[in-house]
Structure formats: C-alpha cells, structure tokens
Amino acid sequence: MQEIENGDIIKLNNPVVTIGTFDGLHLGHQLVISKTIEIAKKKKGTPVVFTFWPHPRFVLGKGNFSLLNSLEEKKLLFKRLDIKYVYFQPFTKDFANLTSQEYVKNILVDKIGVKTLVVGYDHQFGKERKGKFDTLNALSRLYHFELHKVNALDISNITVSSTKIRIAIEEGNITIANKLLGYDYFISGTVIDGSKIGKKIGFPTANLKLDNDLKLVPKDGVYAVYVEIENRFYKGMLYIGYRPTIENQPHIKTIEVNIFDFSHEIYSTPIRVYFTARLRDDIKFKDINELIDNLKIDEENSRKALKEMPQFPKSLIDILPK
C-alpha cells in the first residue's frame, strides 16, 4: 500500500476514486472499494481510496464516540485488502468548512485529478454534510468525471453500517459484529505488568494496555480469542472487567488474556487480540475456588470455539456480487 499525504504531488493514471471515513472497513466499505477496483481495471486506471484522519466526529465534537479502528489498524486492514493507493486527508475544521463544490474541485479534481468517483449509497460531504448524491451528480457534469453509486449491503436482513457494528460490540454481540465486519474484531496493545493474581490461581494472564484509548472495547465479560504475537497465533481467553471476585483491589477496568499452552515472558511486547466468541458476562463469584472452577469451564468452552485461525478480510475480488 502506498500512502498519499496532503502535501504530496500526485500524478496517477486515470484515477478512479472512492471516498469515506471507513471506520471498521466493514463489508459494506469493502464492497464499495471492490467496485472501485473493478471499474479501474476496466478503464485501465488507478484505484484510489480517499479517507480522513482523525475521525470527523472528534473534530466536530459530536458527543462521546469510540473508534472501531485506530489509524494503524486501518492501515493494516488496507494492506490486507491489497489496496494500492490510499490518500489520507487531515480532517481539520478548515477542511470541514469547505463547501461541497470547493471540496470536489479543490481536492478531488485539482489535487487528485479524479476521472471516476465511486461512493456508497449514503455518502454525504462538504460543510455540514450538505452534499448528497444529487449534488455529486451535478458536480460530475460540471467537472467532467463519471459517477457511480453502490447500493447498501444487507446481511441477514441487517444493513451493514459502522453504527450497527459499534452497537453490537458494545452489547457484546461479537458474532453479529464479525459477520458485518467480514473479519474478527480485534484490539491492539502492549503487555504491561499486572497484579499476577492469575498466575497464583493457575491462569496466568497478559495485561493489555491499548494503543489507542479511543478504541472501542467490547462489553465486559469473557471471550474466546486468538492472540497474535510477533506474527504467530495462539488460542486463549480474554477477560474485560473489574474483577469483582478479587477483594482489596483498585476499582480499575482490566483487559487481560490467558494464552493457552504459552509460557514465555512478553512484557512490553505489542500484541493483537481477535475476538471470536463471547462466553459469559463478568460475574462476582462467592470465592476464589468458585472463580477457578468457572475459569476451567471458560477454557474448555474457548478451546471448543477456537477451531480455526481468526477470520481476516477476504480478497476484495471475492466481495463483489456474482
């Protein structure tokens, strides 16, 4: 993947561009990008993904919000989807104040040289998001580029959207979230020192500090997960919560993962954790012995759920409807 930044001088052959924030890079996003690549191949052009960072909602101050992907995770997904060119536009208040016409002319036409534009069914742009598809249609005639709209993608009677995925993750419904994403939801972080209570009771855990505090963390509870450490994958179970059974401890939420059949020291090591299944809620047990008994059940259930490798985004060529 070649990153294009705001100040770069761009000379691309017959650019076929798609635009979006692409938080989550879910199946709906992948369909739009697939269509962009397909059109570029037919026209012997260059497919370009135009995206923004930081997320517009942070700049515009629109309430509490958590990210499905950090910037580094988004770049990782773009690479796994084998996207050749990605233009990262800094989203500032000045940029947000561009009118629809200024946005199209100054950025898409003058800077990128768009020849074909591909957008999703609900794409909005320009100041106060006043630009709609009809606006783009008029501007495409004015500035002489082709325009294509990709319809909504429905899976199991659910229209795929970042909002619906975010809600599913917040509610702990990892199965639905992964189905709409097209891959296993994951978090990234670094292993830090913990209280070592897990080791004392026979379930040593790696405590995780997230790389980005704005990353959306699934609902408290226990999950079957895959853990990626230095490009190798291990099975495990992950806990999110306040450890209510443990007395005399700070009331601090922890994210800790018990990695099966693993005994290496990995403090300060970056890891990635892929959520495959939710096992249970966070529960206060009557004592440590009952907690241990339930952890044994959690491990058994995790091993049953983790039969294959984590689900990654499919090749974009497989996303297009036949």
- The domain spans of the chain are 12-159, 186-305
pLDDT grade for 319, boundaries at 50, 70 and 90:
very low
Q: What percent of the chain has pLDDT over 90?
A: 83
- The string over 78-100, giving b where at least 16 C-beta atoms fall within 10 Å of a residue's C-beta and e elsewhere, is bebbebebbbbbebeeebbebbb
* Cβ–Cβ under 8 Å, residues 83 and 1: yes
Neighbours of 61 (CB within 10 A): 8
Instruction: State pLDDT tens for residues 200-220.
Output: 999 999 999 999 999 999 999
Q: Which CATH number fits domain 186-305: 1.20.1440.230, 1.10.760.10, 3.60.21.70, 2.40.30.30?
A: 2.40.30.30
Mean pLDDT score, 270-299:
96
Please state, for a pLDDT cut of 70, what percent of the chain lies above it: 96
Domain covering 12-159 assigned CATH 3.30.10.20 in the classification:
no
> What's the chain's average pLDDT?
92
In the predicted structure, residue 249 carries a pLDDT above the cut 80? no
**Number of CB atoms found within 10 A of residue 12's CB:** 19
Which pLDDT does position 322 carry in this prediction? 45
Residues 13-52 have pLDDT tens digits of 999 999 999 999 999 999 999 999 999 999 999 999 999 9
Decide if pLDDT at 307 tops 90: no
